[in-house]
Amino acid sequence: MASRREVRCRCGRRMLVQPDVRAIQCPTCHNVTQVYSLVDVARGAQRIINGFQQLLRPHQPPQHQHHPQQMMAQPPPPPRLLEPLPSPFGKKRAVLCGVNYKGKSYSLEGCISDAKSMRCFLVQKMGFPIDSILMLTEDETSPQRIPTKRNIRKAMRWLVEGNRARDSLVFHFSGHGSQQKDYNGDEIDGQDETLAPLDHETEGKIIDDEINRILVRPLVHGAKLHAVIDACNSGTVLDLPFICRMERNGSYEWEDHRSVRAYKGTDGGAAFCFSACDDDETSGYTPVFTGKNTGAMTYSFIKAVKTAGPSPTYGHLLNLMCSAIREAQSRLALNEDYTSSDASAEPLLTSSEEFDVYATKFIL
């Protein structure tokens, strides 16, 4: 018969137990002490050793039986073409689209350069991190950065995703704009304004209703969106409900274009759009400013912000932009080398709310 073993309780009392006993209660402190045999200890130690060996052993994929033809060398996987978009949660971020429509009969000049100029301006002048700016042009190598309808839609959603108070968002488009029949009755003039992506011939244009729904409606309280649209028929292409009509003497008035059929405002945030022209007008590019064809709207906007001094008002900027366009028109009229297509209408400001343009500071 096996002899009894001695175990010690935590209180210090010694107790004798039979070999087959697995637990015993102390008569002094009433604590229960687990009793392990040498076999139990050995098994536990072996499990620990096996666990460490498993962790240290290099991973070996399961071996499978292959047909001889399957043992031939497989081609390498195709390179990954799609790269992730930048994080949408920076305080300052922008989407810049420049479409030249290369090879088309309606190709443009300078739109890609406009987008690049806007990027330099935002980074160098306005403090935007370069990795928070999403560029969509025909010069980009990534398929995600080509200004197709699908990619522009995706980029617009990225721009406003998770927007919060004190976010500063910028949307810039330089390319073709147009109008088409309004089918839902929310336009006073019966026309929807559109932007033309690179593949608009097959995929269609992006209408103002959709742009408003994606870019404007999600803006929360404290978030701010500025759009700069260098395209024809772009006056209300964001479908913002208020239009600022600025006279040459600096006086202005707001036109209320709110629709009874659909809400076009924000979710508490603020949206502003500088457009190249009114809905029924055409815009253009000109070599007057730089010697190369440049979008008149893009150039006048960047120049106005740079020369206006610290914290300009919206009214001050709009006057500077209009003055620059008028100067360009005068120079074009005197120079026979420039064609009429170089002319441009005057910029237009629209907003999600009415405000005093001479008291409200422009801040990106």
Residues 6+ apart with CB under 8 A from 157: 214
b/e code 125-141 from CB counts within 10 Å (16+ = b)? eeebeeebbbbbbbebe
Kindly state the helix (H) or strand (E) to which residue 272 belongs, with its residue range: strand 270-275
Establish whether 176 is a catalytic residue: yes
Candidates 9, 111, 176, 226; catalytic one: 176
Establish whether 97 is a catalytic residue: no
Tokens of 157: 């959603």
Candidates 97, 232, 277, 322; catalytic one: 232
Residues 6+ apart with CB under 8 A from 223: 163, 164, 165, 166, 167, 169, 269, 270
Rounded to a whole number of angstroms, the CA Rg of the chain reads 34
CB atoms < 10 A from the CB of 17, how many?
Answer: 15
Q: For residues 159 and 224, is the Cβ–Cβ distance under 8 A?
A: no
> Taking the chain, what is the end-to-end CA distance rounded to the nearest angstrom?
90
Q: For residues 192 and 207, is the Cβ–Cβ distance under 8 A?
A: yes
Q: In whole angstroms, what is the distance from residue 33 CA to residue 24 CA? A: 5
Tokens of 142: 């990534």
3-state secondary structure of 144: helix
Tokens of 251: 């006086």
CB atoms < 10 A from the CB of 278, how many?
Answer: 18
Tokens of 356: 């005093």
Kindly state the helix (H) or strand (E) to which residue 169 belongs, with its residue range: strand 168-174
Nearest to 316 by CA among 326, 303, 328: 303
Q: In whole angstroms, what is the distance from residue 104 CA to residue 345 CA? A: 24
Show which residues are catalytic.
176, 232
